[in-house]
């Protein structure tokens, strides 16, 4: 445990202006990198990953949720004034997404994966993907409240309601349906409903967000063990042994604060419990969250991805916004860990995606999927911590 405390002290010692440092890194390096090398000028659409030296991997499959995440990133940074040209880039990305991924085979919904030339690789309608398409649409709608974008939001919601709803509550994994059921698509639909309410101010999205909060209370969250499960049977019974991803525990802390903000429904108890549980699953040498544990607090996988570190920062930011003593300092320390271990990539604007227990990088490429996580943590930090 001595290593953990030493690491925490180091994090706090260099976290002074970490929020400003990360903001400048996003604006000066990440956004220019992913809008140039990260955009396919030949066929359109966002590149799914860069090579280790920062060059576009043009032939890599294009995951639809990654296209949607990149749209969100550029729309969000335009909305808050970090990157005014981001609005145009987001619109280009959305046009490409709608042209290539929406119903290319004549069936409703968005396909799962595109080839580099825009053809369909996997026609699966994946619920997780649709959560991010909704987030992308909401972020673009927030820019100028375009009626066509709102129509796309309504069409996506209709698809969810008519094609993907489960008779046992929540949504199936996709079309065709698959098992096990996961909390993850529901978590991101929860996020997207909150974001869509923020963009539209339509109370219907408060109610839709409330459905996911109810699902969290009834099925996803174990109130006795105070952990969030990942995998479930069709009737929402737990699959044993329960898998716990501490990054998702932290992510729900932030989402529950967002739900409280738009509805007034108190969530403090669950946020405190989830955060305390997440903190059990830390790498002793670095203080970073590991990838997977069990319901008893034991570590099952000692590898550590980038995204759980951003979610831990957001969890502490949410608690700081609620006035919890010491939370702002913990948030800055989490951001410092993120910067030191993951954002110190030789490619300016890039990141390391995953390390093993010994601190060796496990991913040679720079995945675009991480930008959404890094950006959201930095935006939240500036808005709450200043």
pLDDT for 194-216, tens place per residue?
999 999 999 999 999 999 999 99
What integer is the mean pLDDT of 215-221?
98
pLDDT at 6 over 70: no
Say how many domains are in the chain. Answer: 1
DSSP 200-216: H--HHHHHHHHHHHHHI
CATH number of residue 366's parent domain: 1.50.10.10
Q: Which pLDDT score is estimated for 78?
A: 98
pTM: 0.96
Those residues with Cβ within 8 angstroms of residue 353's Cβ, 6 or more apart along the chain or in another chain = 305, 306, 342, 361, 362, 363, 365, 366, 367, 370
Neighbours of 119 (CB within 10 A): 11
10 pLDDT band, cuts 50/70/90, is low
Q: Which pLDDT score is estimated for 16?
A: 73
Give whole-number Cα distances, 280 to 175, 254, 289, in Å.
36, 18, 9
The pair of three-digit structure tokens given for residue 219, joined into one six-digit string: 């099925």
Expressed as residue numbers, the domain containing 361 is 220-385
8 pLDDT band, cuts 50/70/90, is low
The C-alpha atoms of residue 104 and residue 365 are separated, in whole angstroms, by 29
Specify if 21 maps to a domain: no
Specify if 280 maps to a domain: yes
Specify if 4 maps to a domain: no
pLDDT in tens, 294-345: 999 999 999 999 999 999 999 999 999 999 999 999 999 999 999 999 999 9
The C-alpha atoms of residue 153 and residue 134 are separated, in whole angstroms, by 6
The C-alpha atoms of residue 383 and residue 361 are separated, in whole angstroms, by 31
pLDDT at 4 over 60: no
What integer is the mean pLDDT of 281-300?
98
Specify if 35 maps to a domain: no
pLDDT at 2 over 60: no
pLDDT at 5 over 50: no
What integer is the mean pLDDT of 132-138?
99
What integer is the mean pLDDT of 269-284?
98
354 pLDDT band, cuts 50/70/90, is very high
Residue matched to tokens 């030789």: 346
* Percent of residues, the chain, with pLDDT higher than 90: 96
Residue matched to tokens 């989402």: 255
pLDDT at 14 over 80: no
Specify if 298 maps to a domain: yes
CB-CB contact of 46 with 39 (8 Å): yes
pLDDT in tens, 136-193: 999 999 999 999 999 999 999 999 999 999 999 999 999 999 999 999 999 999 999 9
What integer is the mean pLDDT of 30-47?
98
The C-alpha atoms of residue 58 and residue 46 are separated, in whole angstroms, by 10
What integer is the mean pLDDT of 58-86?
98
pLDDT at 1 over 80: no
pLDDT at 128 over 50: yes
Mean pLDDT of the chain: 96
DSSP bridge pairs for 39:
46
What integer is the mean pLDDT of 355-375?
98
């Amino acid at each position: 445990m001595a290593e953990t405390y030493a690491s925490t002290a180091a994090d706090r010692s260099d976290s002074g202006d970490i929020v400003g440092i990360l903001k400048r890194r996003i604006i000066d390096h990440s956004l220019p990198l992913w809008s140039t090398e990260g955009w396919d000028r030949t066929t359109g659409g966002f590149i799914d990953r860069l090579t280790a030296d920062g060059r576009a991997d043009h032939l890599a499959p294009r995951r639809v949720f990654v296209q949607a995440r990149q749209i969100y990133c550029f729309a969000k940074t335009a909305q808050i004034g970090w990157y005014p040209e981001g609005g145009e880039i987001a619109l280009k990305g959305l046009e490409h997404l709608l042209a290539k991924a929406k119903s290319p085979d004549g069936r409703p919904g968005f396909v799962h994966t595109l080839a580099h030339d825009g053809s369909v690789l996997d026609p699966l309608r994946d619920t997780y993907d649709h959560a991010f398409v909704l987030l992308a649409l909401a972020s673009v709608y927030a820019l100028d409240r375009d009626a066509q974008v709102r129509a796309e939001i309504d069409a996506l919601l209709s698809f969810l309601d008519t094609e993907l709803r489960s008779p046992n509550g929540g949504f199936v994994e996709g079309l065709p349906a698959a098992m096990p059921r996961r909390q993850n698509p529901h978590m991101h639909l929860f996020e997207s409903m909150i974001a869509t309410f923020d963009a539209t101010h339509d109370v219907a999205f408060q109610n839709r967000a409330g459905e996911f909060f109810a699902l969290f209370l009834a099925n996803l969250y174990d109130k006795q063990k105070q952990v969030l499960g990942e995998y479930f049977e069709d009737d929402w019974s737990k699959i044993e042994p329960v898998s716990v991803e501490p990054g998702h525990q932290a992510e729900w802390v932030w989402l529950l604060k967002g739900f409280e903000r738009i509805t007034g429904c108190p969530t403090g108890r669950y946020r405190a419990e989830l955060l305390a549980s997440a903190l059990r699953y830390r790498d002793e040498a670095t203080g970073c969250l590991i990838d997977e544990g069990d319901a008893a607090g034991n570590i099952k996988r000692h590898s550590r991805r980038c995204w759980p570190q951003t979610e831990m920062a957001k969890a502490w930011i949410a608690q700081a916004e609620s006035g919890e003593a010491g939370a702002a300092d913990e948030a800055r320390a989490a951001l410092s860990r993120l910067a030191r271990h993951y954002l110190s990539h030789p490619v300016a604007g890039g990141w390391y995606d995953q390390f093993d227990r010994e601190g060796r990088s496990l991913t040679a490429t720079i995945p675009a999927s991480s930008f959404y996580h890094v950006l959201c943590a930095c935006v939240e930090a500036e808005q709450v911590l200043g």
